[in-house]
Amino acid sequence: MESSFPFGAILAVLASLIIAVNVLVAVAVLLLIHKNDGVGLCFTLNLAVADTLLGVAISGLVTDQLSSPARPTQKTLCSLRMAFVTSSAAASVLTVMLIAFDRYLAIKQPLRYFQIMNGFVAGACIAGLWLVSYLIGFLPLGVPIFQQTTYHGTCSFFAVFHPRFVLTLSCVGFFPALLLFVFFYCDMLKIASMHSQQIRKMEQAGAMTGAYRSPRTPSDFKAIRTVAVLIGSFTLSWTPFLITGIVQVACQKCYLYLVLERYLWLLGVGNSLLNPLIYAYWQKEVRQQLYQMALGVKKGLTSCLLLLSARERGPSEGPRENSYPIAIISHSHLDG
């Protein structure tokens, strides 16, 4: 491809940010799991892991973009790299779906939630999620119609994968998932609104005072807000890429690969940077844990700086400080 150095530089910065931010959020969530042992936090951790792996996967493409065209990448290696990128992206999207379903279940069945979503079920969901993700990512390697017949040596998504693969993902995965997201969101909003109306009616009837307001309504709306932001981020990030890929399949003469690979694909991958930022901003417990981590780092840096400054003063200043109490004791002894 032409002028791949700027694209490679953007890809390098994006991959570094995705890895750094997601690792930070993953550490914060791990500490929260150690404190609270929450099942929902395991899904949040899985999302951070999936997004981190996506950052690692696309960082392998940076060398190809920055290197000269004289050293082309083998088609098999490029296919494997794109399969890992697709698998990680699929795991991220499926985890967002799992988080939405978990919040939906918590609001729909609040009394039975902990019986249904226990540790074994959560682990089975995560294991199945990764299995499906890798089946999706490596599907083109086993299905010839999803592979490009020609390869020019420069590794990119559509250099090895045919747009028919994007069409299949859109029809079988993306749009059904989007409809499911909308159903979850509307039903959660309906349940939370009904619960809020019931509380207001009970308060007006005098059965419940303001001091005993149920804490569940605000938490319901916070969960709905987080799910809505995740769904909005997911939709805005991947919809342009998938719709343009469908257009490319329908119009073979329309050469949209440059737009797809240089702009819309980056927009979709950027969703893995938005996910941890959403949790860092919207989830209070994650935000507080990150704040505590920042305070711990600040305290550690302050201790190191004090230790270094004490070493820079050296031993010559030590006796001078200690000589004052000795002189005072000697002087008081002579006075006595």
Per-residue pLDDT 10s for the chain (336 aa) are 444 677 888 889 999 999 999 999 999 999 888 887 677 789 989 999 999 999 999 988 887 777 655 456 788 888 999 999 999 999 998 998 888 888 888 888 888 888 888 888 999 999 999 999 999 999 999 999 999 888 877 788 888 998 899 999 988 888 888 888 888 888 887 887 787 777 677 766 765 554 444 445 556 666 677 777 878 888 899 899 989 988 988 887 888 888 888 889 889 999 999 988 887 777 778 888 888 888 888 888 888 888 888 887 765 554 444 444 444 444 444 344
Instruction: Evaluate whether residue 220 is within a structural domain.
Output: yes
Instruction: Evaluate whether residue 332 is within a structural domain.
Output: no
- What H or E segment, with its residue span, contains residue 199? helix 175-204
- If 0-12 CB within 10 Å is exposed, 13-18 middle and 19+ buried, where does residue 113 land? middle
Instruction: Evaluate whether residue 135 is within a structural domain.
Output: yes
Closest CA to 91 of 124, 121, 149, 135: 135
Which domain CATH number covers 285?
1.20.1070.10
Q: Which domain holds residue 103?
A: 4-206+216-296
Contacts of 180 (CB under 8 A, 6+ apart): 97, 100
Structurally, the chain folds into a number of domains equal to 1
Instruction: Evaluate whether residue 132 is within a structural domain.
Output: yes
Instruction: Evaluate whether residue 60 is within a structural domain.
Output: yes
End-to-end alpha-carbon separation of the chain, Å? 92
* Residue 207: DSSP 8-state: S
pLDDT value of residue 70:
45
Instruction: Evaluate whether residue 249 is within a structural domain.
Output: yes
Q: What is the rounded distance in angstroms from the CA atom of residue 220 to the CA atom of residue 324?
A: 65
Instruction: Evaluate whether residue 152 is within a structural domain.
Output: yes
Instruction: Evaluate whether residue 330 is within a structural domain.
Output: no
